[in-house]
Amino acid sequence: MQSLFRLFALAAATFPLLPCAAPLSAAVVGQVVPGKWIVTLRPDADVATVASHFVKVREIRGRNVGGAQPESGDIERQYGFGSFKGYAGSFDKAMIEELRSLPEVLRVEEDTVMTTFDFVTQSNTENWGLAAISSRKKDATDYVYDSTAGHGTYNYAVDTGVRITHEEFEGTRATWGYNVVNDKNTDNAGHGTHVAGIMAGKTYGVAKKATVVAVKIFEGNSGQMSVVLDGFNWAVRDIVAKNRTSTAVINMSLGGAASATWDAAITAAWAQGVLAVVAAGNENRDASLVSPARSPEVLCVGNLQRDDTRYGGVSGSNFGPAVDLFAPGTGIVSSYRTSDGAIQMLSGTSMAAPHVAGLVSYLRGLEGPMSAERAKARVLGLATPGRVADARGSADLVAFNGAGE
């Protein structure tokens, strides 16, 4: 795969990478981004095949640019880990039709909008999520946990960035990993800092001694699927390269339209030993219509309210067989972007997912490094059954850390 990535780098030199797009305004989940496409190559494409493919792309581009927009035919991003190989860029319809016909091309998808999954913002200092995951009964008030608290583990936050100087991360437990969007290593939306605080904050975090790695894929609260894939691609490669598959988890509190490309990416990451925890989504619909939530290898998390009811209504938690378990997601207090001591209350499946990602790290810190498969099974095996009202076909399980009663 290293040699394949060198070929992708060569392609980037031939097709200069374009500047990152500005955040999408009035974004709608699943909305097509005009002129933008994601091309996935077949898993068995070897180095020679990939090299030959980019020669063909150059030839097709030369024939089709003609009167098209100057940037048409430009490759903007490349992906490559395990069996997942591909690229994204700006292509006109004539070029896309030729690319579809190439035998080494597995799939061509239009680029679409993905967004974060939070919806309520309200200043408050009350916190209940931690207590809820350390008790098998509702209305618990104390967080019971082992002092190992995720020590030696890593939580990759593929999100809006993280305010790594926030006091919740104690100066050393949050670091920048990769910024797909721009050169501003800051969280200008707040979502990523909040999510990171739930996973690993000293006050509001599940795994209070874990390390957060910030992977910025949104400048605001939405962006292109191709950009999110770029961040995920980096996180998977970093985890594998640093031998962290048994100590690291990726959290993605975001989603978009159902996508076969996302299915392939998640499967390839899983095959390399990387576990992803994802939000089910806030459209009050079947989670099988949302990616990456629908991918069977992820831990897909729904939004539980304080009364053990699935959050419903217009912004209700998605449901159905794709949802593996529920975690606290309504009225959750955590760190925020506006200062090193700022906190905020947010709600949504975006807040439920990091409770589970933090739990993965907590269990690994307590019980020792474990594979993605074992960690997923452990989380589901510990979960409390029979608590969720209105589960709507989802697994009736609530995340539990095993420490309380």
- Give catalytic residue positions: 159, 191, 350
Phi and psi, residue 177, nearest 5°: -105, -55
Structure tokens, 227: 């950009």
d(CA 138, CA 177): 37
d(CA 261, CA 84): 9
CA angle 270–229–23, rounded 5-degree value: 150
Cβ atoms of 175 and 120 within 8 Å: the answer is no
d(CA 326, CA 346): 17
d(CA 285, CA 282): 8
Interaxial angle between packed helices 349-367 and 191-200, expressed in degrees from 0 to 180 and rounded to the nearest 10: 30
Longest dimension (CA), the chain: 69
**Based on the number of CB atoms within 10 Å of its own CB, is 102 exposed (0-12), middle (13-18) or buried (19 or more)?**
middle
* Secondary structure letter of residue 102 according to DSSP: S
Q: Which of 150, 152, 266, 238 is nearest to 198 (CA)?
A: 150
Helix locations, 308-371, DSSP H: 349-367
d(CA 237, CA 265): 12
In angstroms, what CA-CA distances link 63 with 13, 69, 95, 213? 19, 13, 9, 43
Cβ neighbors of 379 (< 8 A, separation 6 or more) are 299, 325, 356, 359, 360, 363, 399
